[in-house]
Chain A
Amino acid sequence: MSRHGKSEKAFVRLTKSERVQHVIMFVSTTLLIITGFMLMGEKSAIDLLGAAGKSIFYWRGIVHRIAAAAVTAVCFYHLYYVMFKADGKSWLRDMLPKPKDLVDAYQNVMYMLGLRKIRPKLDRFTYLEKLEYFSVYFGMFIVISTGAMMWTQSYWPKFYLDVADALHLGEATLAALAIIVGHVFAVHYNPHVYPMNRAFIDGKISETLMKEEHSLWYERIIAEERSKPANGAEGGRGNA
């Protein structure tokens, strides 16, 4: 049964700018992971490429750099977005960790273990989403700075480059696995949204899913809508 049918009321989860940022991030990161881990390939697998290997290797480097430039640009734009744009400011405000997140995490784990009757009411961004979001800040700081060092390798001491290489590889491995185990599960294999959370395409979230996963946020929006009936049209955007 679709949990976000057309007849259902929908809310704005992602603005157009956020969706564009996400698509650039998603495409670039996928390319970066593929072209980056090609350097870790086993010889037997590389040998299968045969004579094409040389040009594939050449383009591997070019694609990795183009994708890296794109992802760096989108990261800096995002910083500008959360600092100066109205939607961005509300995004960051709702994203900042609060003591309630720790309580939420504890209560949710207890609920999942069957030691608590009801799930905690979660706000616009859940504790896992906040963790994922700020992990990207940490990860991007590492990979962009070390990547930039390796891009300008001739100017750095060899040992710094060895350190940069080790950090870049470690962070990339962590990020790739976290994306698969964390993010892909949350937006695809989560039973509430299977086969895919469409928010990254149309930016909308259904009323059902709002109640299930962001009930606190849902209640806040409804309360706001009631207090301002003139703005209560379908698709109202939370506290934006």
Chain B
Amino acid sequence: MRLQLPGRKSATIPRMHGNFWSCLSGVAVAAAIALFPSPVFASEGQDTCLMCHKYPGLGRYEVDANKRVVKRVFYVNEDLHKASYHGKLNCSDCHEGVDKIPHTDAKKVDCGKSCHVIEPSTGKVFSHKAIVEDLKKSTHGVEGSRAKNKDDLPACRDCHANKPYQLGFQGQTKSMAFLQVCHQCHEEQAWAERFFRHVNYRASIRRPSAEVVKLCSKCHANPGVMARHKLDVIAGFQDTYHAKAIQYGDVEVANCLNCHAPYALGFSPHRITSKRNKNSPTNADNKRATCSQSGCHIEATKAFATGSKVHISPVKAASLMEEAEESADVARNREVFQARILHWIKLFYQILIAAVIGGLGGHRLLDLYATHRDSKKGGH
């Protein structure tokens, strides 16, 4: 099997029992212990960790809670790490309790902990704690979710890989020129470059629409996960005009976040709430504001924004049509009615097309046959 590792084009790994990799990492660790006495590991700093973690083969297969074999890669590419958002941090700033070899004492990374970095606007120690708290209260968090089983709610890492800053060509050339201005005052060139890249990156479109849809689809297009949370699979989105524009490469057209967490209206992807929440941008009372945000359907009327789902899934539409009995829920009845009307229109055209094209085609073929027959008889 081919395995893509950061920093290497690819590595071919034999498909065999997971123990092989456990053994290999064990050998590497043992060799490292032999070469460097334990006090070295006790000291902080990336270089120490990279003594082992710089080797691309470092990793193992594990059996997870669902009894599936998962691949764990412990290799760290130093160049990629330095270019990443967290490139300035030491390993131990996030990975606490890795004093022992093997790291049986390692704690789970807590993105909400305080960093060893000072946040310049307040002068306080920097932390993602506020965002972690927001997420907890959101529909994706343990406090905000209505799900009974909260095991598979998304964590920070499900959406955020510690990627290198990637600026478009235009951004890079601007950085090159503009950085010279920064360097007039800020002596530390690496710091200035990092700061500039941070601001430039955050000011531009962070993720193209196609990437956002792909990211959300990891869970929201997964029938198993959606069934566990009693939600609809977002298959219907693929039929929308927004989805088509995204497929053609439009990066500005509305993706999931533009409607479910529009930054322009003061929302954030970390505070996504259900449409039942009165403050949600997808709540019926707020949808008009969401649709008519700057650059979108600025003339949107309330009727345009409400009254029907933006991307109902075909599975949901089919199940709605099976609901023969009228329920007490008015909104539900309306959904059933709408699904039926759309179904009838499709059915009408399917029958009409089959009849017209079949009849027309049959007539033409018959005409060809008759002309052929006549020409054989010596007629026209």
Contact = CB atoms under 8 A, between A and B. Distances in A.
Contacts of A41: 244, 247
Interface string A78-112: 00000000000000000000000000000001011
B303 A156 contact: yes
A128 B363 contact: yes
User: Chain A's interface: helix, strand, loop or mixed, by majority?
Assistant: helix
A51 B249 CA distance: 7
A159 B380 contact: no
B334 to A, nearest CB: 8
Given A114-B373, A153-B304, A185-B364, A166 B346 contact: yes
B125 interface: no
B38 interface: no
B248 A159 contact: no
Contacts of A158: 303-310
Interface residues of B, number: 46
B297 A178 contact: no
B367 to A, nearest CB: 6
A174 interface: yes
Nearest to A109: B366
A99 to B, nearest CB: 20
A136 to B, nearest CB: 13
Contact of B370 (A51, A112, A170): A112
A54 B250 contact: yes
A158 B341 CA distance: 14
Contact of A174 (B305, B346, B353, B367): B353
Nearest to B297: A154
B211 to A, nearest CB: 15
Interface string B300-333: 1101111111100000000000000000000000
Contact of B308 (A46, A50, A157, A166): A157
A63 to B, nearest CB: 14
Nearest to B296: A154
A170 B248 contact: no
A153 B380 contact: no
Interface string B344-380: 0110110011001100110110111111110100001
Nearest to B335: A159
A50 B248 CA distance: 8
B346 A181 contact: no
Interface of A: 39, 41, 43, 46-47, 49-51, 53-54, 56-58, 109, 111-114, 128, 135, 153-159, 161-163, 166-167, 169-171, 173-174, 177-178, 181-182, 185-186, 189-192, 212
Given A46-B248, A181-B361, 15 more contacts: A46-B247, A50-B249, A53-B249, A56-B248, A109-B366, A153-B297, A153-B304, A154-B297, A156-B303, A158-B308, A159-B307, A159-B338, A181-B360, A189-B364, A192-B380
Interface of B: 241, 244-245, 247-251, 297-301, 303-310, 338, 341-342, 345-346, 348-349, 352-353, 356-357, 360-361, 363-364, 366-373, 375, 380
11 contacts: A53-B247, A57-B248, A155-B304, A157-B303, A158-B304, A158-B308, A158-B309, A159-B307, A166-B342, A178-B356, A186-B364
